[in-house]
Amino acid sequence: GENVEQHPSTLSVQEGDSAVIKCTYSDSASNYFPWYKQELGKRPQLIIDIRSNVGEKKDQRIAVTLNKTAKHFSLHITETQPEDSAVYFCAARLYNQGGKLIFGQGTELSVKP
């Protein structure tokens, strides 16, 4: 089955700096890659997603890149703010598997003012 690896597990940056979180997946049949932000005890919130037919997607300070050949995708947050502090999860969905997501291990991002 699909396996998703996420790095780093913790990331600390200064306010205003950029943060990058990387994920790799194992199954080349995966075709949808969402990123979630989760605050303690709450549901994951979708922040950005990308499909396998697209290499890059940007939404204001957040961008995601996908390298299908290498089977990895990355989340980029620019001009970080303290409110960006949370746990971020990447995920992958196999083609034709409905909404079944396999999650990475998570990255705890801390943005220091």
Partner 1 sequence: GAVVSQHPSWVICKSGTSVKIECRSLDFQATTMFWYRQFPKQSLMLMATSNEGSKATYEQGVEKDKFLINHASLTLSTLTVTSAHPEDSSFYICSARDRISGNTIYFGEGSWLTVV
Q: How far is the CB of 84 from partner 1 (least distance, A)?
A: 19
Q: Smaller CB distance to partner 1: residue 11 or 78?
A: 11
Q: How far is the CB of 58 from partner 1 (least distance, A)?
A: 18
Q: How far is the CB of 44 from partner 1 (least distance, A)?
A: 6
Pick from 23, 35, 44, 109 the residue near partner 1 by CB under 8 A.
44
Selection from 108, 81, 86, 106 nearest residue 18 by Cα: 81
Q: What is the 3-state secondary structure (H, E, C) of the chain?
A: CCCEEEECCEEEEECCCCEEEEEEECCCCEEEEEEEEECCCCCCEEEEEEECCCCEEEECCEEEEEECCCCEEEEEECCCCHHHCEEEEEEEEECCCCCCEEECCCEEEEEEC
Q: How far is the CB of 64 from partner 1 (least distance, A)?
A: 14
Told to check if 102 binds partner 1 by CB under 8 A, we report yes
Pick from 63, 86, 94, 101 the residue near partner 1 by CB under 8 A.
101
Told to check if 53 binds partner 1 by CB under 8 A, we report no
Taking the C-alpha atoms of residue 107 and residue 110, their distance in angstroms, rounded to an integer, is 10
Binding site for partner 1 (CB under 8 A): 1, 32, 34, 41-44, 46, 49, 51, 89, 93, 98-106
